Amino acid sequence: MFRLDTKTAVVTGGGKGIGQAISQVFARQGARVYILDVDEKSAADTIRQIQESGGSAYFEPCDVTQPQQVQEALDSIAASAGTVDIVVNNAGIAHIGTAETTTPDDLDRVLNVNVKGVYNVIRAALPHLKEKGGVILNLASVAAFVGLNDRFAYSATKGAVATMTLSVAKDYLAYGIRCNSISPGRVHTPFVDGFLKNNYPGQEDEMFEKLSKTQPIGRMAEPEEIACLALYLCSDEASFITGSDFPIDGGFKTLNT
């Protein structure tokens, strides 16, 4: 079950964090994985790990905010692999601020990556996916559905991702394209460690524990847990699922009061 043999999977931001875990899990299950990333070093490290484990992975340098780069990358992958079967829109950036403290430049920066970047990838991938069907999986966030302090811009962009998912799912049913989203809660990634180091020097362990306990389950998710849900939704076993969002948040959305 959940094999991706013969499948070509594109993962944006696949060099680290959740994207790295998705790339590794997909490769382990037999997919040819193409990582789109601006961080060449992280992507190269991830590809090396996959290849050393017997998997198949390749790097396409790409800034998802640049439509021409994205189009060229997807066309190149389709020409090289002969197909595009799975597209995971994982690339994204965070921002901390309220409506007052978020500047117009801040908002534009987050929108360009988290919304326009997803749009650019979907638009470039659809002509290839339409040839024989496929899967688009978008990374939204629990922030799209609940109120979080100081997450004005980030929440807005992830709300857009969730609704774009519904639109794509509806518009491309006839082409055999499924589109779903995942909404993680807090996940223990290098971003979290860097955030704590930069904002709470000397208090990293204390703040990590505090953030972990905001999930009713009592801890943060590990990236591979998110990747395993992504695997299911992109596998043939999930062929009856489209237009849905899947919270994976330790109960944050439904059990916090």
Catalytic positions, written as ranges = 154
Radius of gyration from C-alpha coordinates of the chain: 18
Beginning with the edge strand found earlier in the chain, give each strand of the sheet holding 134-139 in spatial order: 56-61, 32-37, 8-12, 86-89, 134-139, 177-184, 245-248
What is the chain's length? 257
Asked if 22 contacts 226 with a C-beta cutoff of 8 angstroms, the reply is yes
CA distance 32 to 161: 25
**How does DSSP assign 73-142, residue by residue?**
HHHHHHHHHS---EEEE-------B-TTT--HHHHHHHHIIIIIHHHHHHHHHHHHHTTT-EEEEEE--G
